[in-house]
A and B are shown apart, each in its own frame.
Chain A
Amino acid sequence: MTKEEILALRNEPWRDELRKKMSPKDRGALERVKMPELTPDYRVKTFTEEVQQGLTKEMAVAEAQRCLDCADPSCMKGCPVGINIPTFVKQIENEDFEGAIATIKKTSSLPAVCGRVCPQEKQCEGNCIKLKMKQKPVAIGYLERFAADYERESGKMKAPECAAKNGKKVCTVGSGPSALAFAADMIKLGYDVTVFEALHEIGGVLKYGIPEFRLPNSVVDAEIDTLRKMGVNFQPNTIIGKTISYEQLHEMGFDGIFVGSGAGLPRFMNIPGENLIGVMSSNEYLTRINLMGAGRGQGADTPVLKGKNVVVCGGGNTAMDSARTAKRMGAETVTLVYRRGLDELPARAEEVHHAMEEGIDFHVLHNPIEYHADENGRVKEAVLQVMELGEPDASGRRSPVAIEGKTETIPADLVIVAIGVSPNPIIPTNFKGLEISKKGTIVVGEETMQSAVSDVFAGGDIVRGGATVILAMGDGRKAAGAMDEYLKK
């Protein structure tokens, strides 16, 4: 969106009037809303009830009043999909909730998801002008979620309008956030869109990875249903590169392919004892519970190990999700082991806060170096190296350095390794002609997301190696725009 377009919307009479209703000083004096939450004691006993309960109408309107409606909104610069933030916030203040969601949906296809899982403190809210005024930023994430939930709960979810069919067929490999964002934009532009998914469920990491207490499946399904209503065709249990080859996709008439196959391979640390029973990747642990329903008392056939003393290795959102899931599975102790300090945790601030409230023990400046087994080959304890912070490394964070000879051994009958993932190798090894980086990611043009194979575009973790839902969605949108240009030629 250009500066002029942003200003034109800001200059509409209703908005001018709304701005004048309250002085910037009075707006600045308002307290940032507190999101109602389930108490830690209650929520560690439930898998499906969301920790954060959402804002009421009154709360949302009051929070929207805090926004100064800047002429040059810095918040928008922090949004990877370029949502017109001040417009939708002011629509909420004006109690035009339908208008607010329509504004968001112009550029974001998964608002209820993003309102819940985006790291707003690093994006829109991190760029809010109020921070410079020593005030708390507008709770943009909460407001986005409010608008999306309001629409869904009203039962009047509107499918955005689509252009007339242009006769061209495109498909996605995967059904996670980048693929869904791509599909949404392409169906709007008039393409025939098929989403191929390897698993039996649509949604990718939104389903197998992020737990329901943070992102309920019903919320994800509602967003997918909207895409279905818009005409997107979903095909689960299909692995592109295996079930259907690149050449077969062409025989089937697909003119463009978007690869959003995600970060498939979990990383391990390659330390002694890592293949013992009871040591597993966060992907395995979360997939068993979230996707397969293991251990949730719902009659699922898939088993899962329930630890008494659970150790989670890592400091990202997935580590937080694993630790908090283990707590809900009935673990007596859950210890999160992270090699850097608390300030360096890469997880969203809110997830760290919630995990602490739920009684997760943060064992920072420790790093696992070995696991010991009982007589049955099951893990029984973890040996941790004690670390200290040294000089800043390439990432700008102070690097962890081992304190020679200082270790600690803690009991562990379940160890969940959440130290990151590598790109899924199936497309890189089965599509000929792609340029693949040393890390195994697909190399694409930065602006076009186009790969070395001209009709193959890619985005999300298969390109970035590991990122966030919203960055993946941004890639999907960019790829859609560029593929549209490419196919029009």
Chain B
Amino acid sequence: MNKIVAKEHFSENVVRLEIEAPLIAKSRKAGHFVIVKVGEKGERIPLTISAANVEKGTIDLVVQRVGVSSCKLTDLNVGDYVTDVVGPLGRATEIEKFGTVLACGGGVGVAPLLPIVEAMKKAGNRVVTILAARSKDLIILEDEMRKWSDEVIIMTDDGSYGEKGNVTVGMEKAIAKEKIDKSIVIGPTIMMKFASLTTKKYEIPTVASLNTIMVDGTGMCGACRVTVDGKTKFVCVDGPEFDAHKIDFDEVMTRMRAYKPQETEALAAYNSK
């Protein structure tokens, strides 16, 4: 049982939760995720850690309301307990001095990108960050990102904030301006696919962080498997970050839909309660 000590709405459907988890706060590194379960009959879902406070013994999770499990989690309030939190899981991000790093976050993917941007900056990189979302109210963690980035480019699909256009427009601009040595993309799978195609054109080494369906999160079930460079990999133990130019994103998107009918039905039932 892990207590929620703070809750903040970034937008109607995006919530930041600060959860007591002292051991995880101490051992986590940028790129790690946790598995969270709400209620005795809850589902185990993976969420990437967006921040940690070792002194307070807490971790931050930024959660978008998508299905029943994320709704149950974000319906919890300060003082409530999350039934199970386990982690940190996965391999940490490879942090070193690459030179100039282009960090691209789409939607709620900006949250797990934040600790990576911070670590990259601390490792001596110049960091150019692109924050992309559908509209202004969905741009999150801008101030925190500015703190650790040398430059921040904001992109919105509707042009309500920053520049109009999707993430790749901003990426093209940044790449035209200076030599990029490394890129990291985190966001919806479709966004990562096109962001990856963009850097591939310029042969910029790129990693993407996948957020697939998981059950145990420790390598036991294989629900999260993906094809990388023609080989099957497990996101939970081999990832969640992979060479973006070698990921079969279409397969990832197909596999994400495995339980779509059940998820839609369950959400309708939850919302009608």
Query: A-side interface residues toward B, CB under 8 Å?
Result: 198-200, 208, 236-239, 242-245, 264-266, 268, 270, 274-278, 280-281, 283-284, 287-288, 292-293, 298-303, 305, 376-377, 424-426
Contacts A265-B234, A283-B220 known; A275 to B225 CB distance under 8 Å?
yes
Contact B263 A303 (CB under 8 A): yes
User: Which residues from 173 to 207 on chain B have a C-beta closer than 8 Å to any C-beta of chain A?
Assistant: none
Contact B215 A424 (CB under 8 A): no
A301 in complex: contacting residue of B41, B88, B251, CB < 8 Å: B41
Q: Return 22 A-B CB contacts under 8 Å, by A number.
A: A198-B86, A200-B83, A242-B89, A243-B87, A244-B27, A265-B220, A277-B258, A280-B221, A280-B223, A283-B221, A287-B221, A292-B43, A293-B41, A301-B41, A301-B69, A301-B72, A302-B215, A305-B259, A377-B255, A377-B257, A424-B220, A426-B219
B223 contact set on A, CB distance < 8 A: 280, 284
Q: In the complex, A376 Cα to B253 Cα: how many Å?
A: 11
Classify chain B's interface size: 35 or more
B255 contact set on A, CB distance < 8 A: 275, 277, 377
Contact A239 B89 (CB under 8 A): yes
> How far apart are B155's CB and chain A's nearest CB, in angstroms?
30
Q: Which chain A residue lies CB-closest to B262?
A: A303
Contact B220 A200 (CB under 8 A): no
B79: interface (CB < 8 Å): no
Q: In the complex, A299 Cα to B41 Cα: how many Å?
A: 7
Which of A243, A298, A426 lies at the interface centre, i.e. has the most chain B CB atoms within 10 A of its CB? A243
> How far apart are B41's CB and chain A's nearest CB, in angstroms?
5
B211-227 Cβ-contact flags toward A at 8 Å (1 or 0): 00001101111110111
Contact A287 B220 (CB under 8 A): yes
Contact B41 A243 (CB under 8 A): no
Q: In the complex, A200 Cα to B42 Cα: how many Å?
A: 11
User: Which residues from 67 to 85 on chain B have a C-beta closer than 8 Å to any C-beta of chain A?
Assistant: 68-69, 72, 83-85
A-B contact count (CB 8 A): 119
A208 contact set on B, CB distance < 8 A: 216, 220
Contact A270 B259 (CB under 8 A): no
Contacts A239-B86, A244-B23, A275-B251 known; A303 to B266 CB distance under 8 Å?
yes
Contact A268 B39 (CB under 8 A): no
- Extra pairs beyond A198-B216, A198-B218, A376-B257 (8, CB < 8 Å): A200-B37, A242-B88, A266-B222, A275-B255, A284-B221, A301-B39, A305-B258, A426-B218
Contact B86 A243 (CB under 8 A): yes
Q: In the complex, A212 Cα to B216 Cα: how many Å?
A: 20
Contact A237 B85 (CB under 8 A): yes
Q: In the complex, A237 Cα to B43 Cα: how many Å?
A: 14
B12-48 Cβ-contact flags toward A at 8 Å (1 or 0): 0000000000011001000000000101011110000
B68 contact set on A, CB distance < 8 A: 301
Q: Which chain A residue lies CB-closest to B32?
A: A242
> How far apart are A239's CB and chain B's nearest CB, in angstroms?
6
B251 contact set on A, CB distance < 8 A: 275
Q: Which chain A residue lies CB-closest to B214?
A: A284
Q: In the complex, A448 Cα to B41 Cα: how many Å?
A: 41
Contact A302 B232 (CB under 8 A): no
B272 contact set on A, CB distance < 8 A: none
Contacts A200-B37, A274-B232 known; A243 to B220 CB distance under 8 Å?
no
Q: Which chain B residue lies CB-closest to A242?
A: B88
Contact A264 B218 (CB under 8 A): yes
> How far apart are A296's CB and chain B's nearest CB, in angstroms?
10
B237: interface (CB < 8 Å): yes
B254: interface (CB < 8 Å): yes
The majority secondary structure among interface residues of chain B is: mixed
A298 in complex: contacting residue of B24, B41, B254, CB < 8 Å: B41
Which of B39, B232, B255, B258 lies at the interface centre, i.e. has the most chain A CB atoms within 10 A of its CB? B258
Contact B218 A239 (CB under 8 A): yes
A276 contact set on B, CB distance < 8 A: 254
> How far apart are B198's CB and chain A's nearest CB, in angstroms?
25
Contact A425 B88 (CB under 8 A): no
B222 contact set on A, CB distance < 8 A: 265-266, 268, 280-281, 283-284
B266 contact set on A, CB distance < 8 A: 301, 303
> How far apart are B174's CB and chain A's nearest CB, in angstroms?
34
Q: In the complex, A425 Cα to B42 Cα: how many Å?
A: 27
Contact B216 A199 (CB under 8 A): yes
B111-129 Cβ-contact flags toward A at 8 Å (1 or 0): 0000000000000000000
Contact A243 B216 (CB under 8 A): no
Q: In the complex, A376 Cα to B255 Cα: how many Å?
A: 10
Q: Which chain A residue lies CB-closest to B41?
A: A300
> How far apart are A352's CB and chain B's nearest CB, in angstroms?
25
A302 contact set on B, CB distance < 8 A: 43-44, 215
> How far apart are A287's CB and chain B's nearest CB, in angstroms?
5
B216 in complex: contacting residue of A287, A293, A377, CB < 8 Å: A287
Which of B87, B220, B254 lies at the interface centre, i.e. has the most chain A CB atoms within 10 A of its CB? B220
Q: Which chain B residue lies CB-closest to A421?
A: B220
Q: In the complex, A199 Cα to B216 Cα: how many Å?
A: 7
> How far apart are A53's CB and chain B's nearest CB, in angstroms?
29
Q: Which chain B residue lies CB-closest to A299?
A: B41
B219 in complex: contacting residue of A244, A288, A424, CB < 8 Å: A424
Q: Which chain A residue lies CB-closest to B270?
A: A301
Q: Which chain A residue lies CB-closest to B221?
A: A284
Contact B232 A243 (CB under 8 A): no
A288 in complex: contacting residue of B37, B39, B215, B237, CB < 8 Å: B215
> How far apart are A387's CB and chain B's nearest CB, in angstroms?
24
B221 contact set on A, CB distance < 8 A: 266, 280-281, 283-284, 287
Contact A239 B262 (CB under 8 A): no
Contact B88 A243 (CB under 8 A): yes
> How far apart are B61's CB and chain A's nearest CB, in angstroms?
15
A242 contact set on B, CB distance < 8 A: 27, 87-89
Contact B219 A265 (CB under 8 A): yes
Which of A283, A293, A302 lies at the interface centre, i.e. has the most chain B CB atoms within 10 A of its CB? A302
A424 in complex: contacting residue of B44, B218, B254, CB < 8 Å: B218
Q: In the complex, A299 Cα to B262 Cα: how many Å?
A: 13
Q: In the complex, A292 Cα to B215 Cα: how many Å?
A: 9
Which of A242, A276, A300 lies at the interface centre, i.e. has the most chain B CB atoms within 10 A of its CB? A242
Q: In the complex, A287 Cα to B27 Cα: how many Å?
A: 27
B83 contact set on A, CB distance < 8 A: 200
> How far apart are A79's CB and chain B's nearest CB, in angstroms?
29
A238 contact set on B, CB distance < 8 A: 23, 86
Contact B237 A243 (CB under 8 A): no
A424 contact set on B, CB distance < 8 A: 218-220
